[in-house]
Structures are given as structure tokens and as C-alpha cells.
Structure 1
Amino acid sequence: MRKLVYLLILGGLMPNLYAQGISDVLRYSQESVYGTARFNAMSGAFGALGGDLSGVALNPAGSAVFLYNYASASGGLVDRQNDILYSNTFNTSADIDAAITQAGAVWVFGNSSDESDWGKFTIAVNYELQNNFDNEVVSIGTNTIGIDQFFLNQAEGLPLELLQLQGGESIPDLYQFLGETEGAAAQSAFLGFQSFIIDPVENTPGNTAYFSNVAPGSFNQEHFRVDSGYQGKYTFNLATEYKQSLYLGVNLNAHAIDYRSSTFLFESNNNANTAIDQIGFEENLWVLGSGFSAQVGAIAKLGDILRVGITYDTPTWLTLSEETSQSIETRRILNDNSTIIEVVDPRVVNIFADYRMRTPGQVKASAALLFGQAGLVSFDYGYKDFTEMQFTTNDPFFNIQNALIENTFKAASSYRLGGEYRVNQWSFRGGYRFEESPFEDTSLMGDLTGYSLGLGYSLDNVKIDLSYATAQQDRSEALYGTGLTTPTNIDQQMDVYTLSLGFFF
């Protein structure tokens, strides 16, 4: 029973639309390992190292490790492959896209005073890709539950007169009115009613009960979801060195979000006595957001070999805006067995009031062993409490979402291990990472496991780096939050290929 409740919650994690729910806050609270190729090749285990601009985005003290001014830019290919099981039918889908994963520079300023314990200080600016949302999931199968149940559930309790066009009223007019006064569920119910999927039990103005014109039986379903967009972090960094053994730094971060999702469900049936034998239902979501966070960090040298690091990331405070649209098309069977296509496309974009959220903070501890010019081994541990995710907009709906967050999520740890071996001008790298599921019920989202490899070459003042990183995670999602809640099980592998070019100046 508990898993069923969680699956219904996960229906809100799918963009069926109006995703102002725990989907948003979870989506923007997680981040992948992108950045420079050297950073990726070592699975992001850079908290005690520094000397890399993605390492600076991880631990702000890392810029003080640089000896000279340095700039780098990185780009890569992100390849997502999904193995999908829906209603006992297996399917695969894939998406590959190019992305700028990092771009930045650091300036090193020496201290002219020979008597001061404070050495150089540094200023850095950097862009880091946190999430690439490009993805495609195709769920295909035969089901005993139809999408009509979604519309039926959305309509229950609504007075019939709200779904009927009044004199001189158009479909766009009423659809927009329902969105402004009754909400998203009423708009979906309106589409179901106007496309003849549902009808009232009694054709009277006070009616609030409905039935489906789709006969029960077997349904062939194809559900497509295409996501795109990114989440990026723009960092301004200050750091300094104390007695050549302690590095201290602070980051001020601006965040940008552009997330788009389109879903389309095509359903057909040959059920006896059905009045509707085909349904095509489309929904679109666009989210824009901005936010702020800060980081403080330190790296200490404990002898010639050992370094340790500590970082605290504040929560990220985000402001988001959403736009949505819907349309539906059905094939209706008339009494003489002829068919007619019913299209309901309001061509109305719903624009929602901005809302605010807070993602959880994080503490990271790191240690590294450096073996002179021969190489190094580095380990990072992170702790993030996902129950601290919160909507900060004062609204009863968001208060309900905050209660769901507390009961659905948990604190999770992450582990990163990286190594580098140098031979003359060549560097050979590898890494491993493991991230615990943020869910109490790990069958909804499993742990993440990743591996990485890389190669670097230094020539005078120029550095060229290549990396390959792969990560695997499985999850279970409901297509819709009500009615059609059959779970889709997804085993996703994400491969990232990165090329970085850096130079000292």
C-alpha cells in the first residue's frame, strides 16, 4: 500500500502538467558530474585538490591552489539510453546532445609583503553545467486501464455547467476561465468532456458525476515524453592562501534553469460497444527559473602528501515561472458505425504566478594523497538531506507538497573516488562514484553508480584533456497522477564525453 501511494506521488514527478509539485524541487536539487574533462575523468573527486576550475565550483578554496592565471573551456556529448518496461512490454529509447559543460578563468595575485603570513589571493569566474535535461522516454504496452480514467477522475465533483459552453462562449474562452478560477484539473476535465470521452450521469446543471464513453477492455498505448533544457551555475570566486598550507575561499553563485517537457499519449482499442476507439492527448510544459546560493570551503596541507578539504553549500533559493498548454483528439464512433474526428485544441498558454523553492544544502569532506609529480588519489564524501527541500511560497497547495516531501524523501550520501597517474607530459585518470537514492522507497529511484576514464596532455602553457564518464540508475514512475497510474520502469544509462582546452596566461 505504501508503494502505491509513492507511485501516485511520482505521478506528480511526471510533467502531466502543472508540475508545481515535488517534481520541480527534486529535479533541481540533484546534479550530475559535468565540468572539465579532468574533473569528469576523476568522477568529480576534487574537494581536497583544487587547481581545476570545476574543482573551484566544488570547493571555493581550490582557486588559491593555482600558481598562475589560467582559463579553460569544455564541451561534450551527453548520451542517454533508456531501457523501459511498461505493462509487460520492453522498449528502448535514446537521446544524444552537445553541451557546453564549463567555461571560466582564474587570476592569481601575489602578496608584495614578505612579512605577511597571507600569500597570494585569487579571483575566479566560472560557468558550470549542473543538469542537462535532454531525454526521451517512450512507453509502449497493452493495458487494462485507459486514459479515460484520468479524465473521469478529474471531472468528478465538478458541476456540469462549468464544462458546457454557454451562449457565445468559445472553447478557448471557457478553457482559460477554468484555468483562472478552477485550476488545472478542471481544464483537463473540460478537454475530456468536449472530446466526448466522458459524459454526465444526469444532463442537468447540478450534475457532478460522470461516466466514460470508452468501453472497458484492452488498450494499446504509446506514451512519448521528450525533455530538453539545462540547469547552470555561474560562480564568482574569491580565495586566499595562509602560510602556504591553508587555502580558504568563498563562492557566490547565480543559477539559471530552462526546462521544457512535452508528452503525447496515443491510445487505441477494439473494445465491444465503445464509443471512442482512439485518443491522442498532448501536454507541454516550460519552466524558467533563477536563483542564488553560496559556498565556503577550505583545503589544508597536512605534510607533503596529505591534503584534506571541507565545503559547505548553502541551500539554493529559486524563483520559477511555468507555462503549460494542452490539446486532445479523439475518434468517435457514431450510431451508424461511421466515425468522426473530434479535435479540442484551445491554443491557450497557461501562465502561472511565480513560485519559490529552496533546495537542500550540502556538506562535503575530502581527502587526497599526492605523490609528487607521479600522481594522486582523491576521495570525496557528500551529505545532503532531501527532506529539507521546501516550497517557500505561502500557499495551501505548497504546504501539502512540503508535507509530501518530508514523508517521501530522506538524507542521502555520495561517494567519489578519483586517481591520476602522470608520465612526462601525459596524465592517465580514472574514477568511481556512488550516490544513494533520495527516496525512502528505493524501488522508486535506485542508487546511482558511475565510472570514468580520461587522458590529458600538457604542452608548454596549453592543456588538452579528454574524458568518458558513465552512470546508471533505475526508477519507477506513473504516467499520470490519477487514473492511468500504471508504472513505467526505466533503467537509464548516461554517458558523457568531454573535451577541455586550457591555457596559462
Structure 2
Amino acid sequence: MKKYITFVALIVCAIGSAQNINEVLRYGTENLQGTARFQAMGGAFGALGGDLSSLNINPAGSAVFNNSLFTISGSNYHTYNDARYFGDALITKNNDIELNQIGGAFVFKNTDSNSDWKKFTLAFNYDLLNNFDNEYYVSGSATEGIDTYFLEYAGGTPFGSILLQDGEFLEEAYRDIGAVQGFRDQQTFLGYYSRIIAPEIEDNNNTDYRSNSIYDFVNQDFLRRTTGYNSKFTVNAASQYKENIYLGASLNFHSVLYTQYDQFSEDGYEPNSGITRTTFDNYLETEGNGFSFTLGAIAKLNDNVRLGGSYQSPTWYRLEDNTSQRINTDHPDVHEDINFINFTIVNLFEEYTVKTPSKLTGSLAVIFAKDGLLSFDYGYQDFSQSELRPTNDFSFQTVNSEIASSLGAVSTFRIGGEYRIQQVSLRAGYRFEQSPYTNDNTIGDLDAISGGIGYNFGGSKLDFSLSRSQQDVSERLFNAGITTPAMIDRTITNATLSYTINF
């Protein structure tokens, strides 16, 4: 009697599957989040402080608070994907509501008038750095079929190493090959028993494979649905020295949950092809945590001008991946038990580390008394310094070489302004972020505009913001084979409402 296998042994060699260059960019980049005031002004708070989300830029910002406070924020995220694949365009939309920020600060003023240290602040803050909820769909007539995926993995794999043993179930062999021989051989196994590929010679030592598909063009449909988050909980301490210097430090504790479901189907082969339809679905789940620290300072040059500077350390993420797959074809010789390989069989990968790069930020703010302000931030982050660890792992060495050659330095510019009319504050901001890729093709530059309004009730404040970012992204359907990517024009609109209580 057959039994479903729920878990499998650890897969050590994961290259081409879960861990790749996308890990660094997924957890190393942030979609601007935070309080409504922070978002409305484009996040340009490095020399301003006075907002809980400003701790993400400069931890000295909490020393600017004159009183203790508590802030909570909720956002509506709307993602619009205009996706093109071989000229065919499809639009998908995703809408999500999250509690994206909550935090507070406690201000302790020094009663000793002779001391140079005027006050001390302890703060905590939770921010949703990135919301991964998204979905896009592409469809087109391609010149490369799914057979190219399996052929790329199969090359060099001995045929005898992927064959079923006497009395062995197909799903057991899939599990054991993945655990002992690795992801590459496991994909060769899938390709062979689904009859997408076949050995050139029926010999155990054969390492060359051919496709069972015949086509000039194939019709492909692909759905990618992602969910999850990257969040940060910050513990902050800051102090004001004399009248003009603010110093601060933060410890940041990151939490990650990411899921990715890919659904793929292909047909349109030639009439004499051994296969006329293929389905191949994949599921990835990543979970883990990370740590970073931040140091910063703000200097008041005079009543109108402030300068800020901060250093954010690399973030070290400890992550665990699991994957599952299912596949089927209508080849007449497809193995009858191929459907037993499905999402109930989970491939577990060894825990690994992703190190995202450190970041330097310089800031300038001009204060116009009680009428308003202008603020500017410049950030620098070199993504070529990112790493997957352990670095002595051969597969990670391959990924790290790709990171060093494909990724480069990213400059970020943020500009924000605020104009006050009695209790009402009007705000606007702009953000520009360079592509992390040296070729500017895989991911384009990011442009974002924002605006908002706030009302001060005296003991509390209510703020609203609306921000819109646009970025062109090319995403490959698979990490091997099929080289033509889906081209996506992605627009993200955030509407955020924050409420602050002063104590």
C-alpha cells in the first residue's frame, strides 16, 4: 500500500533551486514603509528625527523627541503588474491591508542643570520593511520549452544514478536522490520519469540526454504568487548632548517569512511530438531571522540647518528553505506513479546565511521656524559585497561570484518637505533608487512620489499618506533553461494612516 511522504532528508546542494542571487535582493532591498508622515516625505528623515520610523535611517532621531509618545500605523498595499511575455501583455492586481508599524518612545529629561547631557530616550519600534504579497500571470508563444530546464540540469548526470531500485516507489526515489545526490540529479530524475527527456543511450554510464518534445513554438502559461513579509523590531537608545548634538544607536531584530508558488503549463507541440501537454508546479517557503545594528548622529548647525549621518551594519539572516514540486505530461510512457510526487513531499535544505550589505546615509535638513521644513537624504549601499554563507560551500561560491560580477553600488536620493498651517501639515516627497544590477536590465531604477496631510490635536496627531513607486523588473520563469524573462512594469501604491498619542 502506498504512503505519502511528508518530509525528506536535508538537501545539501541547492544551487539552482532556492538559494540564489534573488535571496540577496529580496531581503536586502526595502519598499518604503513606516508611519504616514515618514512615507509622505519620502523617508527623508536622516537629519530630522522626531518620528519613530526615522530610526530606520538614523537612530539619533529619537533624541529629538520632546516628550514620550506612542504611534500605530496601518497601510493598504496595492500592487499593479503589467507583465509582458513574448509580446503578450497581461495585467494583474493585488490588494492587501496590514498593520505595518507600531512603536513608542520614552523621554527622560535630565534635571541636573549642570550636566551637558540634556535628555535620554529609550524607544522601540516595529516596522514592516517589505510586504511580499504579490501575484502576476504571463502567457505567450515561446521558442524554448520546459525541456530546456531539465536538459540543463541533466547534462553530466549518469543515467544509472537516477534509475529506480528494485521494489522502490517513485516518490521514495525522488526523496532519496534529492537527499543524497542533490537538487541537480533530482531534477534529472523528474525530467526522465515524466518522459520530458530521455538518455541518448540506454546505458548506466550515459551522461547525455535529448528532448522527447518536438516544437518550433510552444504555448506557455505561468502564474507566480508570493506571500510573506520582512519585518524589523528595533530597540533604540539616544541622547542629546548640550543643545546641538544628538547621538543614537539601535539593535535591529529581523523576521522573514516568504512563500512562492509557481504554476506552469505548456502545450502547442508538433503533432508528431511524444508530448502534447506538460504541467510543472513548484512551491518554495523560506523562514528565518536576522540581526543588524545602526549608529547615528545629528548636529544642529544653527536654528535652521541640521546635518545627519548614520551607519547601518550588514544584516545577517539565518534562513531555512523547503521546496516541493509536482509534474505531469501526457506522454504514453509517463510513469504511472508520477502523481505521487506532489506538494506532500517536502525537500528540506540546510540552514544558511545571507549577508546583505552595510549602508551609509548622509542627511541635510533646513527648518523654517514653525512654518515648515525641507529635508534631503543620500544613501550608499554596495550590493556586490553581499554573500551567501558558508562561503566554502561550492554552490554558494558560484552564487557569490555571480553577485560580485552582476551587482554593484546603489545610490538612493530622498527629498521631503512639510508646510504647516496652524494645526494642519501638508507634506510631499520624492525617492529615487538606482538599480542594484550593473546592467540596469534585470531590475530598473525605482522612482517614487508621495504626499500626505496631518492634523495635530494637541495631545495626539492623525496623519495620512499616499505613495506610489514604479520599477521595471525582468523575472525568469525558472532558474535554468527558458532564458527569456517576463518583463514586468510594477507599480506599488501605499495608503497609510497613523495615529500618535503624546504623553
Query: What TM-score range do you get, normalising by the shorter chain?
Result: over 0.9
**1:419 and 2:417 matched:** yes
Percent identity of the aligned residues?
42
Q: Counterpart of 2:376?
A: 379
Q: Counterpart of 2:474?
A: 476
Q: Counterpart of 1:363?
A: 360
Alignment of 1:104-253 (within 5 A): 104-253=103-252
Matching residue within 393, 396, 410 for 2:394: 396
Paired residues of 1:17 and 1:324 also in contact (CA < 8 A)? no
Read off the aligned partner of 1:435 and give its amino acid letter: E
Q: 1:334–1:319: structure 2 CA closer, same or farther, 3 Å change rule?
A: closer
In the alignment, the residues of structure 1 paired with residue 352 and residue 418 of structure 2 have an alpha-carbon distance, to the nearest angstrom, of 44
In the alignment, the residues of structure 1 paired with residue 311 and residue 253 of structure 2 have an alpha-carbon distance, to the nearest angstrom, of 16
Q: Counterpart of 2:339?
A: 343
Paired residues of 1:439 and 1:445 also in contact (CA < 8 A)? yes
CA-atom RMSD, angstroms?
1.8
In the alignment, the residues of structure 2 paired with residue 102 and residue 165 of structure 1 have an alpha-carbon distance, to the nearest angstrom, of 53
Greater Cα offset, 463-472 or 50-59: 50-59
Task: Report the alpha carbon displacement of residue 481 of structure 1 after superposing the two structures with TM.
Answer: 2.6
Aligned pairs, number:
488
Task: Report the alpha carbon displacement of residue 112 of structure 1 after superposing the two structures with TM.
Answer: 1.7
Task: Report the alpha carbon displacement of residue 448 of structure 1 after superposing the two structures with TM.
Answer: 0.5
Q: 1:197–1:448: structure 2 CA closer, same or farther, 3 Å change rule?
A: same
Task: Report the alpha carbon displacement of residue 433 of structure 1 after superposing the two structures with TM.
Answer: 0.5
In the alignment, the residues of structure 1 paired with residue 51 and residue 211 of structure 2 have an alpha-carbon distance, to the nearest angstrom, of 60
Q: Counterpart of 1:8?
A: none
Alignment of 1:221-370 (within 5 A): 221-333=220-332, 343=339, 345-346=341-342, 347-370=344-367
Structure 2 residue matching 1:214: 3-state secondary structure:
coil
Q: 1:355–1:16: structure 2 CA closer, same or farther, 3 Å change rule?
A: closer
Structure 1 residue matching 2:25: 3-state secondary structure:
helix
Read off the aligned partner of 1:158 and give its amino acid letter: T
Greater Cα offset, 288-297 or 161-170: 161-170
Greater Cα offset, 478-487 or 425-434: 478-487
In the alignment, the residues of structure 2 paired with residue 203 and residue 484 of structure 1 have an alpha-carbon distance, to the nearest angstrom, of 26
Paired residues of 2:17 and 2:479 also in contact (CA < 8 A)? no
In the alignment, the residues of structure 2 paired with residue 114 and residue 227 of structure 1 have an alpha-carbon distance, to the nearest angstrom, of 56
In the alignment, the residues of structure 1 paired with residue 153 and residue 283 of structure 2 have an alpha-carbon distance, to the nearest angstrom, of 18
Deviations 1:447-469 (A, max 9, x none): 11000010111112111111000
Q: 1:187–1:251: structure 2 CA closer, same or farther, 3 Å change rule?
A: same
In the alignment, the residues of structure 2 paired with residue 281 and residue 97 of structure 1 have an alpha-carbon distance, to the nearest angstrom, of 28
Greater Cα offset, 382-391 or 479-488: 479-488
In the alignment, the residues of structure 2 paired with residue 86 and residue 256 of structure 1 have an alpha-carbon distance, to the nearest angstrom, of 34
In the alignment, the residues of structure 1 paired with residue 315 and residue 66 of structure 2 have an alpha-carbon distance, to the nearest angstrom, of 31
Paired residues of 1:106 and 1:124 also in contact (CA < 8 A)? yes
Read off the aligned partner of 2:248 and give its amino acid letter: G
Q: Counterpart of 1:46?
A: 45
Q: Counterpart of 1:462?
A: 460
In the alignment, the residues of structure 2 paired with residue 268 and residue 68 of structure 1 have an alpha-carbon distance, to the nearest angstrom, of 65
Paired residues of 2:15 and 2:183 also in contact (CA < 8 A)? no
In the alignment, the residues of structure 2 paired with residue 424 and residue 194 of structure 1 have an alpha-carbon distance, to the nearest angstrom, of 73
Matching residue within 450, 454, 459 for 2:448: 450
Read off the aligned partner of 1:51 and give its amino acid letter: G
Paired residues of 2:406 and 2:437 also in contact (CA < 8 A)? yes
Task: Report the alpha carbon displacement of residue 50 of structure 1 after superposing the two structures with TM.
Answer: 0.8
Deviations 1:79-106 (A, max 9, x none): 1111111112111112111122211000
Task: Report the alpha carbon displacement of residue 445 of structure 1 after superposing the two structures with TM.
Answer: 1.3
In the alignment, the residues of structure 1 paired with residue 160 and residue 345 of structure 2 have an alpha-carbon distance, to the nearest angstrom, of 21
Structure 2 residue matching 1:276: 3-state secondary structure:
coil
In the alignment, the residues of structure 1 paired with residue 358 and residue 296 of structure 2 have an alpha-carbon distance, to the nearest angstrom, of 14
Q: Counterpart of 2:24?
A: 25
In the alignment, the residues of structure 1 paired with residue 404 and residue 216 of structure 2 have an alpha-carbon distance, to the nearest angstrom, of 39
**1:439 and 2:437 matched:** yes
Paired residues of 2:289 and 2:317 also in contact (CA < 8 A)? yes
Alignment gaps of 5+ in structure 1: 1-14
Q: Counterpart of 2:3?
A: none
Task: Report the alpha carbon displacement of residue 152 of structure 1 after superposing the two structures with TM.
Answer: 2.0
In the alignment, the residues of structure 2 paired with residue 260 and residue 161 of structure 1 have an alpha-carbon distance, to the nearest angstrom, of 34
Structure 2 residue matching 1:271: 3-state secondary structure:
coil
Paired residues of 1:45 and 1:380 also in contact (CA < 8 A)? yes
Alignment gaps of 5+ in structure 2: 1-13
Q: Counterpart of 1:497?
A: 495
In the alignment, the residues of structure 2 paired with residue 332 and residue 276 of structure 1 have an alpha-carbon distance, to the nearest angstrom, of 5
Task: Report the alpha carbon displacement of residue 184 of structure 1 after superposing the two structures with TM.
Answer: 1.2
Task: Report the alpha carbon displacement of residue 65 of structure 1 after superposing the two structures with TM.
Answer: 0.6
Structure 2 residue matching 1:430: 3-state secondary structure:
strand
Paired residues of 2:82 and 2:90 also in contact (CA < 8 A)? yes
Structure 1 residue matching 2:114: 3-state secondary structure:
coil
Paired residues of 2:16 and 2:480 also in contact (CA < 8 A)? no
Task: Report the alpha carbon displacement of residue 16 of structure 1 after superposing the two structures with TM.
Answer: 10
Paired residues of 2:215 and 2:269 also in contact (CA < 8 A)? no
Task: Report the alpha carbon displacement of residue 246 of structure 1 after superposing the two structures with TM.
Answer: 0.8
Deviations 1:92-137 (A, max 9, x none): 1121111222110000001121101110100000011111111112
Read off the aligned partner of 1:464 and give its amino acid letter: L
Paired residues of 2:237 and 2:249 also in contact (CA < 8 A)? yes
Q: Counterpart of 1:4?
A: none
In the alignment, the residues of structure 2 paired with residue 466 and residue 108 of structure 1 have an alpha-carbon distance, to the nearest angstrom, of 25
In the alignment, the residues of structure 1 paired with residue 467 and residue 125 of structure 2 have an alpha-carbon distance, to the nearest angstrom, of 21
Task: Report the alpha carbon displacement of residue 344 of structure 1 after superposing the two structures with TM.
Answer: 5.2
Task: Report the alpha carbon displacement of residue 332 of structure 1 after superposing the two structures with TM.
Answer: 2.4
Paired residues of 1:121 and 1:240 also in contact (CA < 8 A)? yes
Read off the aligned partner of 2:39 and give its amino acid letter: N
Task: Report the alpha carbon displacement of residue 171 of structure 1 after superposing the two structures with TM.
Answer: 1.6
Deviations 1:212-270 (A, max 9, x none): 11112221100111111100111000000011211100001111111110111111114
Q: 1:334–1:248: structure 2 CA closer, same or farther, 3 Å change rule?
A: closer
In the alignment, the residues of structure 2 paired with residue 281 and residue 378 of structure 1 have an alpha-carbon distance, to the nearest angstrom, of 50
**1:69 and 2:68 matched:** yes
Task: Report the alpha carbon displacement of residue 478 of structure 1 after superposing the two structures with TM.
Answer: 2.2
In the alignment, the residues of structure 2 paired with residue 395 and residue 407 of structure 1 have an alpha-carbon distance, to the nearest angstrom, of 18
Paired residues of 1:268 and 1:279 also in contact (CA < 8 A)? yes
In the alignment, the residues of structure 1 paired with residue 207 and residue 386 of structure 2 have an alpha-carbon distance, to the nearest angstrom, of 37
Greater Cα offset, 46-55 or 261-270: 261-270
Paired residues of 1:194 and 1:344 also in contact (CA < 8 A)? no
